[in-house]
């Protein structure tokens, strides 16, 4: 058993004793595992004390100083003792200094006593290897502390007190420096120093002096007689000091002298087991010598090899087939057109780069990157895809403490997926600026002329003005109101030139578009009055009167739904010429472009006679529709072709009057159509509805609205096209007239351009009604509007 083993044993024994002590003393329980450092600490401290002691000794006693080089082990011991003593002191409490000194003396004495023992132990390192201080220490302890429990206890106590600041001496166990560092002269015959007073040099380069041997023969003898250990004291050649051999060493010496093994436990006489025995084993071994043939090459093989050699010589076999230089993988781009490589490179998309690690991925991230408890909880609750961070930032004291990254494989795999699934073709993403999607509308100021300001107000009506109409020349304006009057105005000055009482709320007025006659159709109640207002060219006025008076009663009287009668008396003087009595209330009158036909609307869900068309020159009335297709809201003639537009609540039907058939049915997508106007070109229709919409139909395009404008806030009451300018206007219950630029191009491929250009306000809202009718001036870009406030306004 080696000394180290013994030391370990003792060490364990130490532990036991410490444990015992711990049972008694509760405050040191937690430091049990740090026993080793405890010892180290002890040793360290001891070393320190040792230095001071050494110095002291150097100063005081020269003899002592001679031993200083050898003191290492000894001082350890000594310090131990001293420490122990200290501990004792601690245990005892505060003693007088004098007592301490006494004890110190005692300890010194002990030291002297134990010094030989130290020398003994120090032998061990010389012979085998130099053990660490602690081990020596332990060894010492095992030697010295036969049963000195108190000493042990005090020591461990002290140790426990020092444990906290204990540091591991890394070179504690280092055995690399095997040489005896007490003397630096090395492994040389020490006789060389026979004639010198010193025996070598210590680590500091100081001479190690030989111990003064002033002993004469007598002293030698006396010591031989008195010292019981004289027989086991040998001189250390390296230091020249006397070393007392321990029992084990003495034992070892004895054993060697007797030609025995140094190790006690070594059994020289192990029972021999015969390897090749008669016993049958499952894996039999034999000691039969090898056959001779095993050393002779095989003939068969020789023959075979000869054949191969022959074949190679003859060139039948190629010894090394030339390597196929063609790669084994399939060249995907082998057949690619070399010119297209350029294209491929152009489309090259580099693999996505891994994001560089940030602070949060550091092993020691700044504190602001560390997640708080709440953040950590939310992080854990989030889906892995949703997480902002793929890992939790953690703080480690050192890089060594960072554990293996558990997601490493996973992450590598994902990276591979990234590379593999990375789209290698450039996505032709179209960057669309939302503003670009807005159609490029010309600025309103580029679309002049259009009405911009209110210029004139035609005041005079006392109730809401339902309908207005402008004379074809543009000099006069007629307005019909709920106060039972029709007023004729001079457009340029807003002068009311004529007021005609018709005796009923006027629903609709319409100036005949024929410039050769001057007739105004006025509807109130069941009657429609054709009036010659007496304004304008006298020749035309007389021609109009002539036209009416020249009528000759036809011979056969047809049954007509409408009764025609001539106005007489005051009515005639007022200008009324013909009075047409209808079966029901007439809501709207409208002229054909030639001014001979006049259509009247009598809305009624149940009747088949909702629309009648009158021919003024022949005083004929016809009912063009046999069937009731819904309540008719308004009608209009096509300005050029023989078409007739009939607007019911939801649809506008276009009839061909000559063929007498339905041509088109326009879906307005509105709930209730209120008004309708036909573009002077005839291919476009606008419909205003009570649900605030204005639908523009391009008849060539579709039966669905080309454009739907929802620019009014309330129900639309009237819409109108300008005859010359690309303008249309809509009047609404919100009191405003909105003028839009509505350009219709001659080019059939170009869709109409619709730009709202102006909101005209002026009418005050009366009884929730605003603008009731709008009409354009025939030649100027002016719009008239009639409102519920009893005024007609001109915007220019």
Residues in the site for other proteins, rule: CB under 8 A?
448-449, 455-456, 459, 473-475, 492-493, 495, 497, 536-539, 779-780, 796
Q: For residue 529, is the peptide bond before it cis, meaning its omega torsion is within 30 degrees of 0?
A: no
Query: HSE-up of 320 (CA within 13 Å, CB side)?
Result: 3
Which of 31/796 has CB closer to other proteins? 796
Which of 449/554 has CB closer to other proteins? 449
Least spacing, CB of residue 455 vs other proteins, in Å: 6
What is the dihedral sign for C-alpha 82, 88, 93, 97?
negative
Which of 459/584 has CB closer to other proteins? 459
H or E element at residue 311: helix 299-314
Least spacing, CB of residue 440 vs other proteins, in Å: 25
Least spacing, CB of residue 620 vs other proteins, in Å: 31
Q: Which residue, 214, 178, 184, 213, is CA-closest to 199?
A: 184
Which of 243/531 has CB closer to other proteins? 531
Distance CA 642, CA 592 (A): 9
Reduced to 3 states (helix: H, G, I; strand: E, B; else coil), residue 685 is strand
* Number of continuous H segments (helices) and E segments (strands) in the chain: 16, 33
Least spacing, CB of residue 482 vs other proteins, in Å: 21
Distance CA 668, CA 697 (A): 8
- Is residue 759 within 8 Å of 736, Cβ to Cβ? yes
Alpha helices in 93-215 (DSSP H): 97-127, 133-144, 149-162
Least spacing, CB of residue 496 vs other proteins, in Å: 8
Distance CA 692, CA 241 (A): 124
The C-alpha R_g of the chain, in whole angstroms, comes to: 64
Structure token digits, residue 697: 């139909």
Structure token digits, residue 441: 């509308």
Which of 474/630 has CB closer to other proteins? 474
Least spacing, CB of residue 739 vs other proteins, in Å: 16
- Is residue 444 within 8 Å of 758, Cβ to Cβ? yes
Least spacing, CB of residue 448 vs other proteins, in Å: 8
Which of 141/777 has CB closer to other proteins? 777
Which of 531/687 has CB closer to other proteins? 531
Distance CA 659, CA 526 (A): 30
Beta-bridge mates of residue 499: 487
Check residue 101 and report its DSSP letter.
H
Least spacing, CB of residue 453 vs other proteins, in Å: 8
Distance CA 302, CA 104 (A): 93
Reduced to 3 states (helix: H, G, I; strand: E, B; else coil), residue 470 is strand
Which of 213/448 has CB closer to other proteins? 448
Which of 539/658 has CB closer to other proteins? 539
Least spacing, CB of residue 710 vs other proteins, in Å: 31
Least spacing, CB of residue 452 vs other proteins, in Å: 9
Structure token digits, residue 377: 């909880």
Structure token digits, residue 440: 């490029």
Structure token digits, residue 89: 């002191």
Which of 238/519 has CB closer to other proteins? 519
């Amino acid at each position: 058993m080696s000394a180290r083993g013994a030391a370990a044993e003792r060490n364990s024994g130490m532990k036991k004793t410490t444990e015992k002590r711990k049972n008694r003393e509760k405050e040191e329980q937690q430091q049990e595992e740090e026993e080793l450092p405890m010892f180290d600490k002890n040793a360290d401290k001891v070393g320190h004390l040792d230095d001071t002691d050494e110095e002291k000794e150097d100063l005081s006693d020269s003899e002592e100083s001679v031993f200083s080089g050898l003191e290492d082990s000894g001082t350890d011991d000594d310090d131990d003792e001293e420490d122990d003593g200290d501990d004792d002191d601690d245990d005892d409490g505060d003693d007088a200094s004098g007592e301490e000194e006494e004890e110190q003396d005692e300890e010194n004495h002990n030291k002297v006593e134990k010094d030989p023992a130290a020398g003994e132990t120090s032998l061990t390192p010389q012979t085998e290897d130099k053990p660490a201080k602690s081990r020596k220490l332990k060894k010492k302890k095992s030697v010295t502390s036969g049963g000195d429990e108190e000493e042990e206890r005090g020591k461990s106590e002290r140790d426990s007190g020092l444990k906290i600041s204990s540091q591991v001496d890394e070179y504690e166990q280092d055995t690399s420096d095997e040489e005896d560092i007490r003397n630096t002269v090395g492994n040389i015959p020490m006789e060389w120093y026979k004639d010198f007073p010193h025996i070598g040099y210590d680590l500091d380069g100081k001479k190690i002096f030989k111990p003064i041997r002033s002993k004469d023969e007598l002293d030698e003898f006396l010591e031989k007689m008195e010292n019981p250990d004289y027989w086991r004291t040998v001189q250390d050649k390296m230091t020249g000091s006397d070393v007392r051999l321990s029992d084990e060493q003495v034992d070892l010496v004895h054993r060697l002298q007797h030609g025995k093994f140094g190790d006690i436990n070594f059994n020289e006489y192990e029972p021999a087991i015969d390897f090749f025995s008669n016993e049958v084993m499952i894996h039999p071994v034999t000691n039969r010598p090898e056959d001779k043939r095993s050393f002779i090459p095989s003939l068969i093989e020789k023959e075979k090899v000869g054949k191969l050699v022959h074949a190679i010589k003859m060139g039948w076999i190629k010894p090394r087939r030339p390597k196929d230089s063609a790669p084994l993988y399939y060249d995907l781009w082998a057949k690619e057109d070399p010119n297209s490589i350029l294209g491929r490179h152009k489309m090259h998309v580099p693999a996505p780069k891994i994001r560089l690690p940030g602070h949060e991925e550091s092993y020691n991230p700044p504190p602001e990157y560390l997640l708080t408890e709440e953040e950590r909880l939310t992080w854990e609750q989030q889906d892995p895809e949703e997480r902002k961070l793929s890992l939790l930032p953690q703080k480690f004291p050192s890089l060594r403490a960072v554990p293996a990254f558990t997601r490493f494989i996973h992450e590598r795999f994902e990276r591979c997926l990234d590379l593999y699934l990375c789209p290698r073709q450039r996505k032709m993403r179209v960057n669309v600026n939302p503003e670009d999607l807005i159609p490029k509308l010309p600025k309103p100021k580029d679309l002049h002329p259009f009405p911009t300001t209110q210029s004139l107000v035609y005041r005079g009506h006392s109730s809401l003005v339902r309908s207005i109409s402008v004379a074809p020349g543009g000099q006069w304006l007629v307005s019909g109101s709920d106060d039972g009057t029709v007023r004729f105005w001079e457009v340029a000055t807003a002068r009311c030139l004529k007021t005609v009482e018709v005796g009923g709320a006027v629903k609709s007025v319409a100036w005949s578009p024929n410039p050769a006659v001057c007739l105004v159709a006025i509807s109130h109640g069941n009657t429609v009055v054709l009036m010659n207002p007496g304004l304008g060219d006298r020749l035309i006025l007389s021609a109009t009167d002539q036209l009416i008076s020249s009528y000759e009663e036809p011979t056969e009287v047809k049954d007509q739904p409408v009764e025609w009668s001539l106005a007489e008396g005051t009515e005639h003087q007022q200008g009324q010429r013909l009075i047409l009595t209808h079966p029901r209330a007439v809501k709207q009158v409208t002229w054909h472009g030639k001014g001979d036909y006049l259509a009247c609307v009598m809305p009624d869900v149940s009747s088949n006679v909702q629309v009648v068309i009158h021919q003024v020159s022949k005083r004929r009335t016809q009912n063009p529709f046999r069937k009731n297709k819904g309540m008719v809201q308004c009608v209009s003639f096509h300005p050029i072709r023989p078409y007739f537009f009939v607007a019911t609540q939801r649809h506008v039907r276009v009839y061909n009057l000559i063929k007498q058939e339905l041509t088109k049915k326009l879906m307005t997508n509105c709930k209730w159509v209120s008004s309708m106007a036909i573009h002077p070109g005839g291919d476009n229709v606008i419909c205003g509805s009570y649900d605030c919409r204005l639908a523009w139909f391009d008849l060539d395009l579709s039966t669905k609205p080309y454009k739907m404008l929802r620019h009014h806030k309330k129900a639309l009451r009237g819409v109108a096209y300008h005859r010359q300018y690309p303008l249309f206007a809509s009047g609404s219950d919100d009191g405003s007239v909105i003028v839009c630029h509505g350009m219709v191009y001659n080019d059939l491929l170009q869709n109409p351009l619709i730009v709202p250009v102006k909101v005209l306000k002026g009418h005050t809202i009366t009884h929730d009604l605003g603008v009731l009718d709008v009409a354009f001036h025939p030649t100027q870009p002016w719009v008239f509007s009639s409102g519920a406030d009893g005024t007609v306004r001109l915007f220019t």
